[in-house]
């Protein structure tokens, strides 16, 4: 076979070593994604998807679609900064769905997860900033990750996995237009990406072919969807830590672009005492404004993509939770949000996407000025959540999704024991039973 970019990427990944620490790290991301899926099942959008699923044949593609879509609903899933993708909502549902078909050791699921994150993020690293203005990177890069992960579990040959990537890439899609009305398409993006990647790997297992040069070809992915790609990013730094290890975990249930401003605003809130905020100014990078400059969100989902609302909620309540975006919260914070201005400037503008930073400057009615700056944010690899914090987040999300506390703790224990499990527990079977009961 000609040495195409896909083949070189497969070679790079299959030559990387996996340590015990890598697998332990991966188990935290599996837990985070699964917990997000449970939480998503309890939302109104989740119930719409579940009602649809009840009418469908229950097969791998339906399962991967539903689980992927549900994982992305509450905006609590992980984020890889350089690629601007959410790998967990694509890769983990595909891996756990494939694990319904036969028995796997826990280490096998985790290694497949590492490989899936690696492909998705490396392709995402290369798409360029213009791609993100129109295309949703998670949706467009996601099928590659799911295909690689499921291909690892199916033990596809190098040729077969290149075929899987070829057919994953030709299914890449997902446009940002839904944000204008807060439509539900973003969840469709995640579900379809997970399903498309799984389907591509299943077909490759039967020697169904795909374009070997889907990435760099004259009519391929980068040419068709990316005005300013940096294709060198696909293969650079082959000995770097796994991309999964460089992925952030969200502490707050909203768009990751809002998080550095939330972090700064929460710190200011602890300093306010009885003083009242007259005005707040957020300074950040351009992509955050492109996606999250929304002073008067009309619905829950738009509020999760509003810097103004998120900062107002943080300054007013001292917390940002799953309840911070409902109609009551939007009404309560509307006046404060009107007094939050946003702008793009350095050092945050030029540091993005390597760093996602922001500052918040508050002027009180008494004339005092308070300011906090965030180069990195809680949940980033530089400021990671502890294992206890990760478990607490997962339990909270699963309880929101309807699990009893003890059952949620049991799921945590099962997932975190994957690195040493000779037989992975039936995580997706239990999840689907919970959804479709």
Q: Residue 34 is inside which H or E element, if any?
A: helix 20-41
Beta carbons of 51 and 416 less than 8 angstroms apart: no
Domain 5-251+384-436 has CATH 1.10.10.10: no
Q: What is the pLDDT of residues 238-266, one digit of tens each?
A: 999 999 999 999 999 999 999 999 999 99
Q: What is the pLDDT of residues 282-333, one digit of tens each?
A: 999 999 999 999 999 999 989 999 999 999 999 999 999 999 999 999 999 9
Q: What pLDDT is stored for residue 1 in this prediction?
A: 45
Q: What share of the chain is helix, strand, coil (3-state, %, to 5)?
A: 60, 5, 35
Give the residue among 101, 98, 124 at the shortest CA–CA distance from 112: 98
Q: What is the mean pLDDT of residues 213-237?
A: 98
Distance CA 337, CA 59 (A): 45
Stretch(es) of the chain classified as CATH 1.10.4100.10 = 5-251+384-436
Q: What is the mean pLDDT of residues 374-381?
A: 90
CATH number of 256-374: 3.30.1330.120
Beta carbons of 21 and 247 less than 8 angstroms apart: no
Residue found under tokens 């992925």: 247
Distance CA 395, CA 406 (A): 9
Helices 387-400 & 405-416 angle (0-180, nearest 10): 130
> How many residues does this entry show for the chain?
437
Residue 80's beta-bridge partner residues? Answer: 85
Helices 427-436 & 88-98 angle (0-180, nearest 10): 100
Beta carbons of 133 and 288 less than 8 angstroms apart: no
Structure confidence at residue 2 as a pLDDT band (50, 70, 90): low
Distance CA 28, CA 148 (A): 20
Distance CA 76, CA 255 (A): 8
Q: What is the pLDDT of residues 76-110, one digit of tens each?
A: 999 999 999 999 999 999 999 999 999 999 999 99
CA angle 51/57/59 to nearest 5° reads 110
Q: What pLDDT is stored for residue 179 in this prediction?
A: 86
Helices 307-317 & 259-272 angle (0-180, nearest 10): 30
Two tokens at 11?
Answer: 């070679």
Give the residue among 190, 185, 251 at the shortest CA–CA distance from 67: 190
First-to-last alpha carbon distance for the chain, in angstroms, is 48
Beta carbons of 346 and 216 less than 8 angstroms apart: no
The answer to whether residue 226 scores a pLDDT higher than 50 is: yes
Residue 279's beta-bridge partner residues? Answer: 363
Beta carbons of 286 and 346 less than 8 angstroms apart: no
Structure confidence at residue 113 as a pLDDT band (50, 70, 90): very high
Q: What is the pLDDT of residues 148-196, one digit of tens each?
A: 999 999 999 999 999 999 999 999 999 999 988 889 999 999 999 999 9
Residues with Cβ within 8 Å of 84's Cβ and at least 6 positions away in sequence, in order, are 124, 132, 137, 287, 353
The answer to whether residue 372 scores a pLDDT higher than 90 is: yes
Q: What b/e string do you get for 40-49 counting C-beta neighbours within 10 Å, with b at 16 or more? A: bbbbebbeeb
| C-alpha dihedral (196, 201, 204, 210), degrees to nearest 10 | 50
Stretch(es) of the chain classified as CATH 3.30.1330.120 = 256-374
Beta carbons of 11 and 222 less than 8 angstroms apart: no
Q: What is the mean pLDDT of the chain?
A: 96
């Amino acid at each position: 076979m000609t040495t195409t970019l896909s083949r070189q990427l497969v070679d790079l990944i299959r030559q990387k070593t996996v340590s015990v620490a890598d697998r332990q790290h991966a188990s935290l991301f599996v837990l985070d994604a699964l917990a997000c899926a449970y939480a998503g099942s309890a939302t109104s959008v989740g119930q719409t998807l579940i009602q649809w699923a009840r009418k469908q044949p229950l097969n791998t593609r339906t399962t991967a679609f539903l689980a992927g879509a549900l994982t992305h609903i509450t905006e609590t899933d992980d984020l890889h900064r350089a690629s601007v993708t959410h790998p967990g909502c694509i890769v983990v549902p595909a891996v756990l769905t494939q694990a319904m078909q036969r028995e796997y050791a826990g280490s096998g699921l985790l290694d497949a997860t590492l490989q899936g994150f690696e492909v998705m993020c490396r392709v995402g690293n290369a798409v360029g900033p213009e791609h993100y203005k129109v295309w949703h990177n998670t949706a467009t890069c996601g099928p590659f990750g799911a295909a690689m992960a499921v291909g690892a579990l199916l033990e596809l040959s190098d040729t077969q996995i290149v075929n899987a990537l070829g057919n994953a890439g030709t299914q890449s899609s997902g446009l940002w237009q839904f944000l204008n009305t807060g439509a539900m398409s973003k969840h469709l993006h995640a579900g379809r990406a997970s399903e498309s990647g799984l389907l591509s790997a299943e077909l490759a297992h039967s020697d169904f072919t795909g374009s070997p040069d889907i990435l760099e070809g004259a009519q391929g992915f980068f040419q068709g969807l990316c005005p300013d790609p940096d294709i060198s990013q696909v293969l650079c730094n082959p000995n770097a830590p796994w991309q999964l290890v460089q992925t952030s975990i969200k502490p707050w249930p909203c768009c990751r672009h809002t998080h550095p401003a939330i972090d700064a605003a929460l710190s200011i809130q602890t300093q306010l005492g009885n003083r009242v905020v007259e005005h707040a100014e957020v300074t950040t990078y351009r992509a955050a404004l492109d996606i999250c400059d929304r002073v008067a969100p009309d619905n829950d989902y738009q509020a999760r993509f509003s810097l103004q609302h998120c900062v107002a909620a943080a300054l007013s309540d001292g917390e940002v939770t799953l309840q911070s975006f409902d109609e009551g919260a939007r009404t309560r914070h509307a006046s404060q949000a009107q007094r939050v201005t946003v702008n793009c400037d350095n050092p945050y503008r030029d540091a993005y996407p390597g760093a996602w930073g922001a500052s918040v400057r508050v002027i009180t009615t008494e004339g005092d000025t308070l300011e906090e700056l965030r180069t990195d944010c809680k949940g980033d690899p530089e400021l990671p959540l502890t294992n206890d914090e990760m478990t607490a987040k997962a339990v909270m999300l699963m309880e929101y999704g309807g699990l009893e506390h003890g059952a949620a703790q049991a799921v945590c224990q099962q997932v975190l024991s994957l690195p040493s499990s000779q037989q992975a527990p039936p995580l997706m079977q239990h999840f689907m039973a919970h959804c479709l009961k």
